[in-house]
Every structure is written in C-alpha cells, then in structure tokens.
Structure 1
Amino acid sequence: MDLSVEVEADLYPDPWPHLPAELRESILTQPGLTWQDLVHLSQTCRSQRQWMFHPARQTGLLWQIHAGRAYPLLLNTSSPSSGEPINWLARLQIRHRCQIRTLNTLQSFSGRFFHRLDLSNDEIDEALQSLEDDFDIHDLVDAFETFLTRPDQRSHLTSHYYAQKVVQRIKHRLDTPYWQAFPDQLENQEVCHEAQIYLQAAVRLCQWFRTETRITFTPIQNKVDGIRSRVIEVLELTQPDHPVLERYRQHQTQTHPYALSDLKRLILVVNQVLFEEEQFQGNDQAYYQPENSFLHELLERKLGIPISLCLLYMIVVLDLGVDVAPLNFPRHFLIRIQPSEGAEATLYLDAFAKGRLLGISDLRRMTTFPLQSDMLSPVGPLDLFRRMTRNLTAFYTGASENSGSLESYSDLRSCFELMILLGGENEIPEFALIKTYLQLNINHRQIRQELDRYQRIMERNGPGPMGAVIQTMKRIVQGQEEAITTDATKVEVKTRSLLRDASDQFGYGRLCVGLICQHKMYDYKCVVYGWDPTCVASRSWILQMGVNKLPHGADQPFCNVLVEDGSIRYAAEDNLEPVPSDSMIAHPLAGKYFSSHNGRVYIPNQELQKVYPEDLDVLNAFLFSPLPYVKQ
C-alpha cells in the first residue's frame, strides 16, 4: 500500500465542500458553462449532486442563471400566486422537454405535408393539440421560435420552414381576441387621445404580419419614449417657459387646450427632433413596400409613408397633452391639431413632408375632389388601422398577381383575416379570403362554412348569379380535398434513367436537385428543386416563352427552380449554368425541399430524396468532380 497517497490526501483535502455557497454558485455560473455541464458534474459525486439539487439551489441564483442562459424568455416567468419562490430547475426541465417535443413535431411535418402547397389551420391545430395539453402556450411559441433564430441559418432548413407556419398560426390565435375586441373597445370613441392605444395596436400590427420576428412591446416603447424625452430636452434648452414642460413634469398626459402660438413652437421642436436629428423621412423611392407601414421597421429604417409617419408623430405628442387626431384625407394621411382658439385655428400637418403645416388652399390642391367637411373630420384608431390594413392588402394583391409566390398569397391571407376582425361596411374581405384559401389549397372546412353562409343569404334574397359562383367554388373545394387524399398516397419517383436519352443524344441531364444555377439570359440565381426529362408545359406557354427558339426546344430537361427574388420558375437546361455559391438563395420555400446548405449546394431533405432518389449521388459527384458537368 502506498502510504504517500494517504498522507498527501490528508495534507491537501478537497476544498470544494468548504467553499461558501456564493462562491460555488459563482464558479458554476461562469460564462461557457451550460446546464448540461452541471448535470454531468452532478453525476461525479453524491455530495455534489445533493448540493446542486438542494431546494435552496433550485429556487436560487444558480439555476435561475442557467435557465435564463438556455432559454432567455424563462426569466419573464411570474412568481406563483401562492407567493412561493420560482423553482428554476423545474421550469428549465419543463422547457427542455417542450423543446424536444416541438422538434419531434416539426420533424413529422415534412412527411405529412411535403406535397401540400400550404398548411390548413385545422392541420396545425391538430398537430399542436397534445403539446398544448402538456405545455404553456408561451413556452411553445418560444420553443418553435428557437428554430427561426438559430445562429447557423444554413442548417435545419426544413424545421425552420415548418416552424414559421406553426408560429404564425399560434401568434394569430393569440392576437385574434385583441383584434376582435378592438372595434367594440373604440365603438363610442370618435377621437382617441391615448398614446398607449395607438402604440399597442401598432405593435400588434407588426406582430400580426411579421410572425417570423420576435417583436415585443417594451423595446418599441423605449424608442418612442426616447424621442419624446429628446423633445422635452430641446424644449428645456430653447423654450424653458413652454407650458408643455410643467405638465410633463407633473405627469399630466390628458389633452390640454394649448394656444396656437404654443403649438406652433412645439411643432418646430418635434420636427427638429424627428426629421433633422432622427432623420425620419418619407420613402419616395419605394413608397409601396410593406416595410414602410410597420412601426418597428420605421423606427429602425427611418423610412415611412404618410400614415405610419403620422402615427409615430401622434404617439410622440399625445403624451404631451396635445389635442391631435388622425385625418383620413383622400390618398394622403394627415394629422389634425386643435388649438384652444377653436375650429377656425385648426392646424393640419403632413408628417410625410417633414411636419409641414397646411392651409385650406394646400388641402384643396392635394385632392382631385371638391374639398368637403367630412374630409377634414378626424378619425379614431379603428379607421387608422383599417386603412393601414387596406394599404397592405393593395400591395400584397399586386405582389401575388405579379409573382404568384406562396409568400405573397400567405401575406394576403393575413391581410384579409385581419380586415375581417377589424370589421367594415361590406363583405369583400370574406369573399376575397375564400379565394385566397382556394389559391393556397387550405382551410376547406372554413371555406365550406362561409360558402354555406353566402348560400343561405342568396336563398333569402332570391336566385342570382352568385348562386352559380358558390356552386362552382364548392366543386373546386371538393376537387382539392380529393386531390389531397390522392397525393398523400402517391409519390412520383424520377430516376436518372429518364434523362438517359437526352444525355446520350445532346449531353443533357447534368443538373440535379440542390444545384445552384445562374440563368444565362436573365442573370438570376436559383436552386433546382425538381426536373422533367422534357418540357411538360402547355403548348401556349412554350410559344409564349420562346422555348421553340432554343437549340433543342422543348426536347430537353426542364427544371423547377426557386429564384432569389422569391418567385418559382420553369427553365430549360440550355439556359441554366451551375454556379456553386456560398450565398444562399433567399426563398421562402427553400426549407420545404432542402435540409441544409453546405456552402456550395443545397442538400435535399428526405422527402425530396424520395422523389429524386439518385440525385444526391449526382450532387456529390458534382461537388468533387465538377469538370464533367461543364457542357462541351
């Protein structure tokens, strides 16, 4: 027996058990350590395990720090109503199980919905049911959002694609009660003087349309408060006698009848801060882009349109007690500011023109219609956000007609769903939503319910042309449902042997799914996600696109490609040149077909490999031996 070992152990005992708890916690919460490291460490020693999992640690700083490090939103957890401390270890364990379950759910989606253009609400709700039984809905949102915010955007593309669908559905469900109550909340309120109502609705609008981005209220409010604080700071330096200052110091935000001269002095300062210091401006170059309508993007990009700039202007000055209201002026949104002197002294402000004050003669020149009193009547938040939604609807309608992309139809769907919640004087949104659902081949149960409602109305009002339209739509729904059932059991497999004749005769058949290519004529970059041995498009399309003018016309492979502008195109192999690229193709459907991007090409996911079982070998051959794939 080696006595020197025992002597050395006695001389240098293990110091860890004798360290103060605060020092142990400090060591175990050092940057770089994860909660998994703590679990592994606990398995090395029973006393260590007992100390780490003691109730005092579970509710203390040790597990709170690791819970927040792994899942930051856990730190927003409210204390139990019983007043007991939060068990951070238990919260971390539940949240981790939630993460694993959400991953399993997403991995099942590709096999179930690969052949679907989009996902129906009922299909997502059914998939979420067991998760919602076991986990808090906000934990689920956080878990699915982690797939959208991964640092490595080249991997897990398929999980990212389906996570976007799920997050959109959950967030819309959570926000629906707010928008349903919005019209009733403001029904008897012609003019609203509460900045918080405008601000909250503006943030909710961003969340409704930008579900892939984690948008929260507090950072946006802090930016707006910062602008307002700067206005106060400039006032104190330049106009210390201004009446706004005293009311602001006393936290009086109620509307106050300021004199005309005081309002003009205030407007000068607000314009200085917003348009000179902060450099907000109207986006003349890309007026109709949807980014101009969203408050969080306006605060970031400093570019907007009349309605969004007016909204920001009002939110800033409302809490200063200014009697300000939106003016739903034809074709150009304005702000009405009311001084204490009465209606004759009313001010009209154009935020798009950097806060320019307008007179009646200016207003007459801004419209092709005779100027009427109702054009100068202020409106409330409901009409403002209805108009913002109509603006977005107009943009996405044009985008869907021009590109036909899934993303534009999905955004259009969000527009119509929100328009219905906000209410209106007609039923155009409902009927337009039905057509959008049909275009996306989703939500057939909701379509049937709406068509039945229309049919009952038609029966009460007597026969008319709409009856035939409704019956036609019902037949389309039935056909789509039957096709979904058929597609679920039918997989068309395409092997490379289909390309053999074209390859032997003309040297074709070098392209495969996953290759990034550049179009020789139109210069766009794209990724191949499917191919046909010859062109299967209609004769009229072939003539219209000039396919017959190509060296081998339609008798060559044609590829389905996802284009960098978000569109989907059908291109001849003659026109596509492989260009392995480190840059990814920013297309919303990339994750539907590909699992990752390896720095040169896209890797087909399991479902796409079932359709093109031999293309992965061709893709690998291209990566390691590119020269044979250059057409001679």
Structure 2
Amino acid sequence: MAVSLLCCDWLKEYKTRHRVGIQIRGTVESISKRFFTEVPCVGQVLGDSFAEIKSLGMPEHFCEDELLFILNTDKRKSLTLKYYARKILYFLRQQNILRSLKTFLEQPEEQQSALEGAVLVDQYCNPLADVTLEGISVQLDEMVEKVKKTLRLKNPSHPSLRCAQGFFSSKAMSIPISLSVLYMTLSHKLGLHLEPVNFPNHFLLRWCQRPRGEGNEKSYQLLRDSLDLYLTINPDNVQYLLLQARLYFHLGIWPEKVLDILQHIQALDPSQHGAVGYLVQHTLEHIQHKKHPVTPDEKRRSAPEHVEVQYSVGLIMKHKRSGYNCVIYGWDPKCTMSQEWITTMRVQQLSKGANQPFYNVLVQDGTCRYAAQENLEPHSAPLEIGHPEVGRYFSEFVETHYVANEELEMRYPEDTRETLGKVHELYHGLSLDSGHQDQASNQPNHTTNM
C-alpha cells in the first residue's frame, strides 16, 4: 500500500483536476449564450459542447466529478449553470453506456446475460439515476431469498427450492406481452399506474410519475433513446437511420451527427439519395445559421404597444381556471399563435379574446404553456416551480420569484426592475404592513370605547 501511494503524484493530480475544473466550468458557462436562442427541447443534445469537453484530453471521471460538483451546490442558485451541466453529464454518460452496450453485444450469445442487457438499457434511458448491475443483482437475490423463505415454510417440496442458481435463462421466460400485461394488472391493483411503451420490436412498460400535459417534450426524449438503442443493436437499418436523422434535424440538435448519419445511409443505400440530399442541404444551412445567430428582439415595457402588459418574467403565477402554478419566462402584447390554435383553445371565449397580453409560462407539471393575461394572477404564496427548463431562463430563486439570467434579461431589459417592484408590492409590502400592525397591537391601548 505504501509503495502505491508513493507512486502517485498527488500534487500533479490536484493541479490537473483544478485545471480541468476551470475549463469545464468555462465551457458550461459559455453554453447559454450559444443555445438560448434555439427552440427549447427537453431532449436537447449538446453535441458541440460534448466535443469541446472531449477535446480537453482529460480522464472522463475528472470531467464528471466537476459536473457533479456544479450540480451539488446550493440548489436555488446558479440554475443556468446547473441546467447545462446536467445536460452535458446526461449526454456524457449516455455515450459511455452506448459503448458498454456495443461491447456487450459483441460477446457470444451464450455469454450475454439478459439482466446485464436490461440494466444497460435502463442506464441509457436514465443516465443520471444510480442504477448498477451489482445493485440490481443484490435486490434480486434478496427477493429470491424472501420467496424461498416463504416456500420453505408453506411448501418445502416446491421445485424452486431444488433449482440451482442461474437455472432459468432468458429463453425460459414467458412471452413478454403476457408478462407485461400480468405485471401491469398487478401494479394497478397496488395503485401504481403503468402504461405500455411503443419500443421497436419489443413490448415494454413505463411508470407514469406525472400526468401528461400540453407542450411536454418528453416523448421526443423517449423516441431518441429508443432509436439510439435500436441502432446500437442494428446499426445498418436504413429506415431507422433515416428516422433518427429526421428526428435530430426536426429538433435542431447536433447537426454534425445528422451529417454522419446521412453519410452512413448514403453508403448503405444509394437509392435514398433524394431524402439524404434534402436533409444534408438544410442541415448545412442550420450549421451556417448557428455560426451567425440572430440577436433576439428586445421587448421593452416602456414601449407604447406594451402598455397593457401587467406582469413580468420571473413572477410566480397561478392560473385562475386550471389552477396550475407556473413562472413567466416571456410575454407578447397580443396573442401570436396561429388562427388554428386560437380556435382550438377557444381563445375567443375570453372576455378580451386574443387582443390582450399572453405569457409563456413554465408549469409545475413540466409543461410549457401560453396563457392569457386575464387567466393569470400572482400566486398568494410563491413557491419554486419544478420544471426541467427553469435553468434555461433563470439563474436563481429568491423566496418569492426567479431572477432572469443574462440572456433572458437581454431580451426583456426592463422586466427585472418591474419584477422587483411587483414582488415588493405583493409580498414584502404586505409583510411590512402586518409587522407594523403586530407592533401596534403590542402597544398599550389608550383609546376608549365609542
């Protein structure tokens, strides 16, 4: 042990980690300026930033340690930094898991464990969760022992007690659909809601932690994960490759990866030249656009056309009709949605219709919505909004409201002062008044009854 300690240059490792930490933090801090103008997407892939981190040439666990350090600081502060650190860590781990899955698939079939394969799939879909093969194996062993203990008491002659460990292989399992239906039925009886997942050539279940809502982009993440996993197993399936390229192109993410996929498709099947050529052209245009991003228009509250806008970014609101809690991250003096959307959402039934300010809001249930001013009111007891995109727009939560990050503040340069004033009027002013009243009530009462 002493020899191994002497062989390690701890000072050199410390300096390396410190340098990597500075470089990682600098990369993460620069992302918001580059990605803020992109269309928000829960499943957004920061391929460019991942490439930058890889180019540092440092051990990946150094990078991961720094990203985890950023994520584990004060949860109410540095929200934008945490937002992009989480995305990079998510992507970094997914790429590592894909490599492990490819190694797993290269093994002879008789050496492949169904459990290990399932764990790798689970890890890929939930890369930030603490899921390990060792941990799952321990839990399964505990379950087996509990079942055997019960059998020994109630049925000592049961065949399961005579089976050697590992007797059942993955091929001895019943039909996946039958097992899933049975499992889903049992879970419903126990009050857990599961639903089937449309996975290529398979039948899976997923646990529904939250209700679906308008604007939820989680389906894109599930589709992307499914395609990535399927193409790891069948890397030359042209139709799925084309679907993957179209998905990435539609989401506007990782355009360099799209070009690689399209090149692979062209090599596999030259007859796809038309579809490939179209996507190549528009992907190159997207890359060029990213090099010269358009500066978003400023929205100043002092402008005459914005005189009816009552609320500002960062305020915690409550929807009067639907009852949901949300935070404002943008606004328009009038509804800017299409006529089809206006008709579908019955906007004309509102007292002021579409001719009133509308607000972009992040909702507690994880959705993004567009709400009319007459349907919103300041929350009586402001609380944090548990939405995955909060860090994209805000840097901090301070008791009653969110603080816009640098990019959002550039778009709404006069909203910060407006938000502070509104917060003081709604909450701090009220607390001051109540405090004065408390002090007054503690003073001797010199008045007489009238």
* 1:93-104 to 2 correspondences below 5 Å: 94-104=16-26
Structure 2 residue 66 is matched with structure 1 residue 143: yes
Asked if residue 156 in structure 1 is aligned to residue 78 in structure 2, the reply is yes
SS state at 1:559 partner:
strand
Distance 1:84 1:328, change over 3 A: farther
Deviation at 1:548, TM superposition (A): 2.6
Cα displacement string for residues 281-324 of structure 1 (whole angstroms, at most 9, x for unaligned residues): xxxxxxxxxxxxxxxxxxxxxxxxxxxxxxxxxxxx87353466
Q: Does 1:480 align with 2:293?
A: no
Q: Do residues 409 (structure 1) and 214 (structure 2) align?
A: no
Query: Counterpart of 1:125 in structure 2: which amino acid?
Result: F
Residue 148 of structure 1 and its aligned partner are, at CA, apart by 3.2
Q: Distance in 1 between matches of 2:325 and 2:296?
A: 28
Once the two structures are TM-superposed, the CA of residue 593 in structure 1 deviates from its matched residue by 0.5
Q: How does 1:380-399 map to 2 (within 5 A)?
A: 391=204
Q: How much does 1:578 deviate?
A: 1.4
Counterpart Cα distance in 2 of 1:198 and 1:458? 33
CA distances 1:454-501 after superposition (whole Å, capped 9, x unpaired): 445654x5xxxx655444434543443344344x24231111123x44
Check 1:350–1:113 CA distance in 2 against 1; reply closer, same or farther (3 A cut). closer
Counterpart of 1:587? 387
Aligned match of 2:53:
128
Counterpart Cα distance in 2 of 1:593 and 1:103: 18
Unaligned runs of 5+ in 2: 187-198, 430-450
Query: Matched residue of 2:178: which SS?
Result: coil
Q: Which residue of 2 aligns with 1:69?
A: none
The equivalent of 1:325 in structure 2 is 171
- Counterpart contact for 1:495–1:612, Cα < 8 Å: yes
Contact 2:316 2:383 in 1 (8 A): no
Matched, 1:262 2:159: yes
Classify 1:423/1:626 alpha carbon distance in 2 versus 1 (closer, same or farther; 3 Å): same
Structure 1 position 616, deviation (Å): 0.6
Instruction: Show CA shifts across 1:210-263 (max 9, x none).
Output: 1233434443333233333444555666677x7xxxxxxxxxxxxxxxxxx624
Contact 2:71 2:85 in 1 (8 A): yes
Q: Map 1:175-214 onto structure 2 (within 5 A).
A: 175-187=97-109, 189=110, 197-214=113-130
RMSD: 3.8
Query: Among 409, 429, 447, which residue is 2:240 paired with?
Result: 429
Instruction: Tell me, yes or no, if the aligned pair for 2:98 and 2:124 is still in contact at 8 Å.
Output: no
- 1:88 and 1:515, CA in 2 relative to 1: closer, same or farther beyond 3 A? same
Mapped to 1, the partners of 2:371 and 2:183 lie a distance apart of 46
- Which amino acid is 2:262 matched to? L
Does the 8 A contact of 2:318 with 2:379 survive in 1?
yes
1:496 pairs with 301, 324, 335, which one? Answer: 301
Normalising by structure 1, what TM-score? Answer: 0.57
Question: Does the 8 Å contact 1:534/1:554 carry over to 2?
Answer: yes
1:130-172 deviation digits (Å, cap 9, x = unpaired): 43x2x3211211221233344x322221111101211122112
Residue in structure 2 matching 1:620, options 420, 426, 429: 420
Paired with 1:589 and 1:520, the residues of 2 have a C-alpha distance of 23
Q: Matched residues in 1 for 2:138 and 2:382: separation?
A: 38
Q: Structure 2 vs 1, CA of residues 489 and 437 (structure 1 numbering), >3 Å: closer, same or farther? A: same
Question: Aligned partners of 1:478 and 1:606: how far apart in 2?
Answer: 29
Larger RCO: Structure 1 or Structure 2 (Cα < 8 Å, ≥ 6 residues apart)?
2
CA distance in 1, matches of 2:324, 2:369: 11
TM-superposed CA distance for 1:123, in Å, is 0.5
Q: Map 1:128-527 onto structure 2 (within 5 A).
A: 128-131=53-56, 133=57, 135-150=58-73, 152-187=74-109, 189=110, 197-231=113-147, 233-234=149-150, 262-263=159-160, 319=165, 321-322=167-168, 325-327=171-173, 329=175, 331-333=177-179, 391=204, 403-423=214-234, 426-455=237-266, 459=270, 468-486=274-292, 488-498=293-303, 500-501=304-305, 503=307, 508-527=308-327
The amino acid across from 1:484 in the alignment is K
Q: Deviations over 1:556-578 (max 9, x none)?
A: 21111112222222111111111
1:106 to 2:28 alignment: yes
CA–CA distance in structure 1, aligned partners of residues 183 and 340 of structure 2: 50
Q: Aligned with 1:518: secondary structure?
A: strand
Is the CA contact 1:413–1:433 (under 8 Å) kept in the aligned structure 2?
yes
Give, in whole Å, the separation in 2 of the partners of 1:158 and 1:528. Answer: 16
Between the aligned residues of both structures, percent identity stands at 27
Q: Does 1:564 align with 2:364?
A: yes
* 8 Å CA contact retained: 1:580, 1:601: no
* Bigger radius of gyration among the two: 1
Contact 1:154–1:597 (CA under 8 A) maintained in structure 2: yes
Amino acid at match of 2:230: M
Report the CA distance shift for 1:479/1:598 in structure 2 as closer, same or farther (over 3 A).
Answer: same
The TM-score with structure 2 as length reference comes to 0.78
In structure 2, the CA distance between the partners of 1:318 and 1:577, relative to structure 1 (3 Å rule), is farther
CA distance in 2 between partners of 1:227 and 1:426 (Å): 39
Q: Is the 8 A contact 1:502 1:556 kept in 2?
A: no
Matched, 1:542 2:347: no
1:39-118 correspondence runs (5 A): 84=6, 86=8, 91-92=13-14, 94-117=16-39
CA distance in 2, matches of 1:163, 1:618: 30
**2: CA distance between counterparts of 1:103 and 1:221?**
36
Work out the CA distance in 2 between the residues paired with 1:203 and 1:115: 36
- Counterpart CA distance in 2 for 1:106 and 1:120 is 14
Unaligned runs of 5+ in 1: 1-58, 61-78, 243-260, 267-316, 335-348, 355-384
CA contact (8 A) 2:70 2:85 kept: yes
